[in-house]
Amino acid sequence: MAEMKPRVKVPATATKGEIIEIKTTINHDMESGQRKDKDGKVIPRKIINKFVCSLNGKEVFRSDWYTAVSANPYLSFFVKATESGNFDFAWSDDDGSVYKTSAPITVS
């Protein structure tokens, strides 16, 4: 499996009330649990099942994911810039792993 490396693109600055686009991706195989290996054994399901984005500890976006999401999932969404601070991003995996990253924003 590839190294789980989350990446995000958040504008460095925004005007208060501006709608900004946030782009995210993470390297992940997103194994559905329906394929078989070369010996005919089912490869266990291992997918990211939840994504959460928070600004200064307040949740601003959440998404539940299922087996139809492709490998190395990309997600783009929009948020209203309300205050300066840190966006925190978390991807939760079936095995309980949580992959995190963050990005600052200055709102004027």
DSSP 15-29: -TT-EEEEEEEE---
Give residue 38's identity as a one-letter amino acid code: K
10-residue averages of pLDDT along the chain (108 residues): 82 98 95 91 92 98 92 96 98 95 98
Walk me through the domains of the chain, giving residue ranges and CATH numbers.
6-107 (2.60.40.10)
Phi-psi region of 95 (alpha: psi -120 to 50; beta: other; left: phi over 0): alpha
Q: Taking the CB of residue 62, how many other CB atoms lie within 10 A of it?
A: 11
State residue 2's pLDDT score: 54
State residue 68's pLDDT score: 84
For residue 46, give the nearest of 71, 15, 26 by alpha carbon.
Answer: 71
State residue 67's pLDDT score: 83
State residue 7's pLDDT score: 97
Q: Taking the CB of residue 51, how many other CB atoms lie within 10 A of it?
A: 22
Q: Report if pTM > 0.85.
A: yes
